[in-house]
């Protein structure tokens, strides 16, 4: 067990599950910018150097000691999330599954994440909303200059948008 100190304060090590066939976790040093606003919460995704490339790991825990020699510890490249993508119950279930089925923990966690999250993409989808513009409202009311000639489907679409002030997603409109 190795305990390091930085400026008199005990170091924090980040224990990660990384998608690899190895049946172990990996310890890293926090990134230079420090902890995210909410602290080091299990379930956060972190971009890390791994081998000759980079990987996305899931934070299992922040610990005060490590078995890894200081010279071999590498620093996290980036924190990908502001909030954990996996909650405590799911983390517990995935740890149990890896143990029960004798499967590498990193592969179990990777299988639980959607492909885009495994690749380090944003956890929050880009959400585009459609809403009624002034020109659309004028066309619907017949006050547009020049006068707009709306087809039946166009008028239905504008009427639907008028009834939803907060806007509509394309999926809602298509349904």
Q: What is the mean pLDDT of residues 25-35?
A: 94
- The DSSP 8-state label assigned to residue 68 in this structure reads S
Question: What is the pLDDT, as a whole number, of residue 124?
Answer: 67
Q: Is 80 exceeded by the pLDDT of residue 117?
A: yes
d(CA 24, CA 106): 8
What percent of the chain is modeled with pLDDT above 70?
Answer: 91
More confident of the two residues 175 and 40: 40
Q: pTM of whole model > 0.75?
A: no
Provide the b/e sequence for 86-96 (b: ≥16 CB within 10 Å): beeeebeebbe
The predicted pLDDT at position 144 comes to: 79
Greater confidence, 171 or 104?
Answer: 104
Q: What average pLDDT does the segment 19-47 reach? A: 95
């Amino acid at each position: 067990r190795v305990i390091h100190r930085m400026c008199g304060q005990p170091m924090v090590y980040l224990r990660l599950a990384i998608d690899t066939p190895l049946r172990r976790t990996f310890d890293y040093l926090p990134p230079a910018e420090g902890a995210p606003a909410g602290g080091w919460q299990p379930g956060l995704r972190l971009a890390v150097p791994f081998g000759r490339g980079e990987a996305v790991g899931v934070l299992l825990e922040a610990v005060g000691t490590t078995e890894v020699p200081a010279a071999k510890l590498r620093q996290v490249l980036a924190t990908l999330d502001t909030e954990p993508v996996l909650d405590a119950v799911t983390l517990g279930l995935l740890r149990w599954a890896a143990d029960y089925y004798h499967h590498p923990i990193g592969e179990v966690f990777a299988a639980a994440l959607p492909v885009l999250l495994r690749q380090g993409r944003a956890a929050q989808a880009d959400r585009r909303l459609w809403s009624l513009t002034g020109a659309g409202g004028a066309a619907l009311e017949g006050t547009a200059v020049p006068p707009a000639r709306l087809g039946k489907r166009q008028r239905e679409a504008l009427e639907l948008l008028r009834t939803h002030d907060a806007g509509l997603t394309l999926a809602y409109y298509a349904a």
